[in-house]
Structure 1
């Protein structure tokens, strides 16, 4: 009997101990998932301990003692905020004599390296102009399977709705502007327009607007060239309200309007917009005027007359210079200085890799046939990227076009960047 009593006592003690452990475990367990949770089975709410007010108060007190998560270290925070995915889709409205050839070369090189498709004419470097761009201008021999392209960076006259039809919907829209008198004087010298008009620039500036606006070399090159490239014609009946409406529309169309006089800052903003690297936007100047620009030789009264003839371009430049300044302020002056240094270092690395002396046996010659009035940089021919940096626009476009045409002929198979074509 005594052994039985002791056995019952011992058993009772074990049972009590087990029950205490169970109670402790249940009390400190987190509440069961709600029945509304899609990953949890339904449960009987009348038997759930999580409904007990005493248990809930204990859980609340425990949660209150848990410290908040520690903030990320500054370096990790910057990575988290600044990380992004490179963008491959863009349209670049290539305005004449606004450092646009150098900018176009950045896009063509990037597109070639990454196997991106280009909206191109069958020959040459113009899609339209004097006609504004239309979808039918793109040749079948270069067409993508769905009629959409990664990039459009050749000369055209803007028709935004038509351009949007052949680009991906998330494409970035970019163009570039330049101080109007400097831009027109550069255009005048590059195309030798004095021969076309049979008069010096000073005499041209005295002509009435009604005459010069309809008198364009090849029906393309002439007064307020930026306004023309952006798809507009005469400004004879343009009111200040009309001009404001045009500027607002252009500002809503373009994600970035670069400024030629602040080119490296423009590249920093471009790099940020596209999430590219400094090496992606590195450049060597091409298609630049030999010697010093003649703009500073223009008499003040001639300059004023040219500004009046170029009224739309003057308004465009003034407006987008202010927009640009606001973008720089929003970007941050300290950050801009840091990013400028990175772009300039990338330019230096590119020059060290590519540039050679004029008499170097490695100098590239094919594809370097620039017109006589412009200067060029001499690069080595044994590094293709160096050649692509400074080769003429026509030569570079022919290379890109030949690759894309062969890719289309093969039924769009494989990566476009891997297509190899025989040199012309």
Structure 2
């Protein structure tokens, strides 16, 4: 089903696609289209969270998190997993369709706009070293990828017409590389075993 058709008569999965970020963050479904209630909830969230990460600016967000938490660059390194292949990405959406999506997700849209603005304010407050630190971080990411990543595997979900690229660890990889490229299930299992051993 095309997203334009679904928006005309939202049925299947509607409750999971109706402002679900704000739902996860505690706003009642009856308040999604109440402008003052949404604004009040966003203000509440801004007091409770020192930083919201934005997916499109993930590296920039991680750099701010590093500074906030007094971490090293190594503490925020990551390897991408389950990357959607270019041919599986949706075609460009028309502006009218984008507007319909924003109206359907009006509370989530306002949440995103607010914290996207605060992200760039925090980047400006970071100071002139931000761009230099960001490039240094990206260089470390590239080095880690070259060190740890071997061949790639394409995973296709024919029902959803979706192809993702999954990276495999190199032969004789270090323990660090293996941990970095593990999926979340294996990481949680590893942490669970370690926790049990010290309990």
Q: Same fold (TM over 0.5)?
A: yes
| Count of matched residue pairs | 193
Cα RMSD between the aligned structures?
2.5
Note the C-alpha offset of 1:379. Answer: 1.7
Note the C-alpha offset of 1:340. Answer: 0.6
Q: Does 2:19 align with 1:229?
A: no
Which residue number in structure 2 is paired with residue 337 of structure 1?
Answer: 131
1:147-171 alpha-carbon deviations (Å, 9 max, x no partner): xxxxxxxxxxxxxxxxxxxxxxxxx
The structure with the greater share of residues assigned to helix is 2
Deviation above 6 Å: which 4+ runs of structure 1? 368-371
Which residue number in structure 2 is paired with residue 388 of structure 1?
Answer: 179
Note the C-alpha offset of 1:397. Answer: 1.1
Q: Secondary structure at the match of 2:41?
A: helix
Which residue number in structure 2 is paired with residue 291 of structure 1?
Answer: 86
Note the C-alpha offset of 1:288. Answer: 2.1
Note the C-alpha offset of 1:392. Answer: 1.5
Q: Does 2:5 align with 1:207?
A: no
1:236-285 alpha-carbon deviations (Å, 9 max, x no partner): 56422211110101101111111111122111101101111112212221
Which residue number in structure 2 is paired with residue 351 of structure 1?
Answer: 145
Which residue number in structure 2 is paired with residue 413 of structure 1?
Answer: none
Unaligned runs of 5+ in 2: 158-162
Note the C-alpha offset of 1:293. Answer: 5.8
Q: Secondary structure at the match of 2:150?
A: coil
Instruction: Answer with 1 or 2: which has the greater Rg.
Output: 1
Question: Where does 1:6-405 land on structure 2 (aligned, <5 Å)?
Answer: 199-207=1-9, 215-216=14-15, 221-235=16-30, 238-292=33-87, 294-332=89-127, 334-357=128-151, 372=157, 373-380=163-170, 382-405=173-196
Distance verdict in 2 for CA 1:263–1:376, change over 3 Å? same
Unaligned runs of 5+ in 1: 1-198, 359-367, 409-424
The 8 Å contact of residues 202 and 302 in structure 1, kept in 2 or not, is answered as yes
Distance verdict in 2 for CA 1:369–1:385, change over 3 Å? farther
Return the structure number with greater relative CO, CA threshold 8 A, min gap 6.
2
Note the C-alpha offset of 1:348. Answer: 2.2
Q: Secondary structure at the match of 1:256?
A: coil
* Distance in 1 between residues matched to 2:126 and 2:50, nearest whole Å: 14
Q: What TM-score does the superposition give when structure 2 sets the normalisation length?
A: 0.84
Q: Secondary structure at the match of 1:375?
A: strand
